[in-house]
Amino acid sequence: MNEAENPNPLFMPLTYLTTESNKTGSWRFLRPRYDEKTSPCSATCPAGEDIARIEMLATQGLFKEAWETILWENPFPSVCGRVCFHPCEGQCNRREFDTAVAIHSLERFLADTAIRYGIKPDMKKMSSQKQKVAVIGAGPAGLSAAWFLSMLGYTCHVFEASEEAGGVLRWGIPLYRLPLNSLRHDIQQIEALGVTIYTGKPVSPDVLEIMKKDYDAVFIACGHGRGMSMNVPGEDLKDVSEGLDFLRKLREGKTPPCPGVSAIIGGGNTAIDVARSVVRLGGKALLLYRRRRQDMPALEVEVEMALEEGVQLQELVAPAAVAREGDQIVLTLQEMKIAGEEGGRARVVPDEGKTRKARIDRIFKAIGAQADEPLYQPPAGASGLLSLSHTVLVRGNHGPVMVFGGDLTNETKSVVHAVASGKQAAMALDTLFQEGLEAIVPKLEACRVGEGSSLSMEIYMGAERRLRNPHVVRYEEINTDYFRFIPRVIQPRLLTEERVQSFEEIDLKISANLAMRESERCFNCGLCNQCDNCFIFCPDISVIRDKDHQARHINYDYCKGCGLCVVECPRNAMSLGEEKS
């Protein structure tokens, strides 16, 4: 202490220095740190969307940035915001507090806002690579692969057999769920990134052989174009057709007539799509499913709306035989009974002797699909075959690498799983080209979001998300003292009477106001949303604001390791560890 600094003329108890010379950091035996973690929604999302961050940006009114955050992991926000089965909401921590955040509606809102204001995304693209990749099938898997490969700097050509790109998005899902301009916008955005789509170019085995000379890799994502067979007598009657074909004709602008009663066999989204389309065409729809309503793989809300629109549902029946009787079709149905449960779904067996007949005018099958051509199937047991969670990679001694993805390889056949497949293919190919086959598994492993199979392109490309702690935040780790009960936004819809009149989109828009109020309900699990609690409550003024990414840092010269910041962080974005001496 230098007395010369003392400005007082008397030597008396009067201070003249501050306590800043006393570095109380030496008291510490626990050390807090900013440690952003993984939200359960993003870990569950097959595309690994950074949902907590998306909602955080939306709450701050940064819609463009929120939307771009989606595009990092999923080029189809307009689509998924409408048709995704949103497993994210099923894991949302907020559901244990009041109700899950309406992530699905918010994704749609962000996509629609971008379209409405003609916003162009600022996507990071790696420098150009020499390799060229061909993608067969412009469905969600193929287009996603092209999007991600383009981000990684590769030249991508997509070959689509139909006259327009989109696959099941264009030719399967009805307009009242997915309007055309929403889809077209997302596809155009993919093209704007540098992807070339050749429509009207079916790829036969011969064409494929020729293509192999021009490309370093081929991604086959043709999907399942052929329906499955019921294996019942009378199936080959002309009145029995594929549900998917019916939907395709509708999307082609041809209106296949369906007066009278149409029976639809199946319980998935395709079956529901067919049933609800029939209603809109003025017909009656009879939905026949072998298990119970709660076992149906279709989205619950779709089933509900179908029933509201007048679709009849018969549960626990399976087709046994089809016969023609004059103008009508007689469908013999075998009644099923429940023999147990597996994985939450009923296991059913025929109730011996119990059958009944349904008199209908036609039958649509919607019991599943398979690949059109054998070449579209990944070869089993080939050497140089690498099976990943959503793709299969085959590397022969010569020629391009063959990658299979989408419905061809996915266990769960959904749009978002197709996106995941496309992303995985892009990452696998890029790693193969840059580092080699052996590097693929560990490299992709490092890009996992949480503990599941979801991968993040943001992490893969080395952005800040790579610094996130993979620990998935649980509800118990949220400090709920900072949240009030707020009801979830209700997605506005057309009234039932209005819905059945046409193929107009059912879901209506929500305002920015409502959207922000809803996104504010998000806990932002594991993410710092700059609430400043750490700064507010630190007794030692050791949380210092700065201009870095975190916008604040801990001054370890003075931090006593009390842990208040960690406990008062509402969203577990900090961690407390032992102080190493």
Partner 1 sequence: MPTDIMDREFVHSGHVGCAGCGATIAMRFVLKALGEKTIMVLPACCWSVITGPYPLSALKIPVIHAAFETGGATASGVRAALDMKGDTETTVLTWAGDGGTFDIGFQALSGAVERNENFLYVCYDNEAYMNTGIQRSSSTPYGAWTTTTTGQDWKRLRKKNIVEVLVAHRIPYVATASIAFPDDLLRKAQKAKETKGSKFLHIYASCPTGWRIPSEMSVKIARMAVQTNIFPLYEVEDGRWYTINYKPKEYLVREYFKLQGRFKHLTDQDLDQIQQMVNEDWELLLHKAGDRI
Partner 2 sequence: MKRVLEGSHAVAEAVRLAKVQVISAYPITPQTHIVEILSEYCTKGMMKAKFLRVESEHSCMAALIGAQSAGVRTFTATSGQGLTLMHELLHWASGARLPIVMAEVNRALAPGWNIWVDQTDSLAQRDTGWIQIYCEDGQEVLDSTLQAFRLAEAVNLPVMIILDAFYLSHTYEPVEVPDQEEVDQFLPPFAPKFQLDTAHPCGFGPLVTPNDYMEMRYHIAMAMEEALGRFDEIEAAFAAQFNRRYGPVEAIDCEDADIVFITTGTVTSTCRLVLQDLRARGEKVGILKLRLFRPFPAEQIRKKLKSAKKVAVVDRNFSFGASGIFAQEVRAALCNVPDHPTIFGFVAGIGGRDVTPELLEMIYWQTKTSDVPQKESVWMGLREVKNAD
The stretch among 11-19, 226-234, 286-294, 467-475 that binds partner 2 (CB under 8 A) is 11-19
Q: Which of partner 2, partner 1, none sits in contact with 387, Cβ below 5 to 8 A by type?
A: none
Size of the site for partner 2 (CB under 8 A): 9
- Contact flag: residue 312 with partner 1 (CB under 8 A): no
Token pair belonging to 324: 């023609």
Q: Which of partner 2, partner 1, none sits in contact with 9, Cβ below 5 to 8 A by type?
A: partner 2
The angle, 0 to 180 degrees and rounded to 10, between the axes of the packed helices 51-59 and 103-116 is 60
Say which residue the tokens 């013999």 belong to: 332
- Contact flag: residue 15 with partner 2 (CB under 8 A): yes
Hey, what amino acid is at 328?
Q
Q: Min. distance of Cβ 134 from partner 1 in angstroms?
A: 57
Token pair belonging to 403: 């990658």
Q: Which of 11, 29, 117, 485 binds partner 2 (CB under 8 A)?
A: 11
What part of residues 168-207 is at the interface with partner 1 (CB under 8 A)? none
Residues 292-331 as x/- pattern, contact with partner 2 by CB under 8 A: ----------------------------------------
Distance CA 33, CA 147 (A): 36
Q: Min. distance of Cβ 18 from partner 2 in angstroms?
A: 10
Token pair belonging to 503: 């193929």
Closer by beta carbon to partner 1, 27 or else 357: 27
8 A C-beta contact, residue 490 and residue 104: no
Token pair belonging to 292: 């119970």
Closer by beta carbon to partner 1, 45 or else 566: 566
Q: Which of partner 2, partner 1, none sits in contact with 297, Cβ below 5 to 8 A by type?
A: none
Nearest to 374 by CA among 204, 164, 557: 204
Q: Min. distance of Cβ 535 from partner 2 in angstroms?
A: 23
Q: Which of 2, 4, 5, 9 binds partner 2 (CB under 8 A)?
A: 9
Pairing assessment for the beta strands 345-360 and 328-342 based on DSSP bridges: antiparallel
Q: Min. distance of Cβ 544 from partner 2 in angstroms?
A: 22
Q: Which of partner 2, partner 1, none sits in contact with 380, Cβ below 5 to 8 A by type?
A: none
Pairing assessment for the beta strands 155-159 and 196-198 based on DSSP bridges: parallel
Q: Which of partner 1, partner 2, none sits in contact with 11, Cβ below 5 to 8 A by type?
A: partner 2
Closer by beta carbon to partner 1, 27 or else 512: 27
The stretch among 159-167, 379-387, 507-515, 565-573 that binds partner 1 (CB under 8 A) is 565-573
Q: Which of partner 1, partner 2, none sits in contact with 10, Cβ below 5 to 8 A by type?
A: partner 2
- Contact flag: residue 19 with partner 1 (CB under 8 A): yes
Contacts of 383 (CB under 8 A, 6+ apart): none
Nearest to 215 by CA among 105, 104, 332, 132: 132
Closer by beta carbon to partner 1, 9 or else 118: 9
Q: Min. distance of Cβ 558 from partner 1 in angstroms?
A: 4
Q: Min. distance of Cβ 581 from partner 1 in angstroms?
A: 17
8 A C-beta contact, residue 244 and residue 172: yes
Q: Min. distance of Cβ 545 from partner 1 in angstroms?
A: 8
Q: How many CA atoms lie within 13 A of 184 on its CB side?
A: 5
Collapsed DSSP state (helix, strand, coil) of residue 234 = coil
Which helix or strand (DSSP H or E) is residue 300 part of? Answer: helix 300-308
- Contact flag: residue 555 with partner 1 (CB under 8 A): yes
Q: Min. distance of Cβ 10 from partner 2 in angstroms?
A: 6
What is the DSSP track for 159-186?
E-SSSSS-THHHHTS-TTTS-HHHHHHH
Closer by beta carbon to partner 2, 18 or else 397: 18
Hey, what amino acid is at 344?
G
The stretch among 2-10, 45-53, 246-254, 269-277 that binds partner 2 (CB under 8 A) is 2-10
Distance CA 550, CA 439 (A): 32
- Contact flag: residue 14 with partner 2 (CB under 8 A): yes
Q: Which of 214, 304, 464, 557 binds partner 1 (CB under 8 A)?
A: 557
Q: Min. distance of Cβ 541 from partner 2 in angstroms?
A: 16
- Contact flag: residue 567 with partner 1 (CB under 8 A): yes
Q: Min. distance of Cβ 476 from partner 2 in angstroms?
A: 43
Distance CA 295, CA 6 (A): 82
Distance CA 28, CA 150 (A): 49
Distance CA 171, CA 148 (A): 23
- Contact flag: residue 5 with partner 2 (CB under 8 A): no
Distance CA 233, CA 477 (A): 58
CB atoms within 10 A of CB 313: 18
- 381 φψ region: left (φ > 0), alpha (ψ -120 to 50), beta (else): left
Hey, what amino acid is at 72?
W
Say which residue the tokens 């800043």 belong to: 20
- Contact flag: residue 343 with partner 1 (CB under 8 A): no
CB atoms within 10 A of CB 28: 17
Report residue 523 CA to chain centroid gap.
20
- Contact flag: residue 482 with partner 2 (CB under 8 A): no
What part of residues 530-549 is at the interface with partner 1 (CB under 8 A)? 532, 536-537, 539-542
- Contact flag: residue 578 with partner 1 (CB under 8 A): no
Binding site residues, partner 2, CB under 8 A: 8-16
Binding site residues, partner 1, CB under 8 A: 1, 6, 13-24, 27, 481, 532, 536-537, 539-542, 555, 557-558, 560-564, 566-568, 576
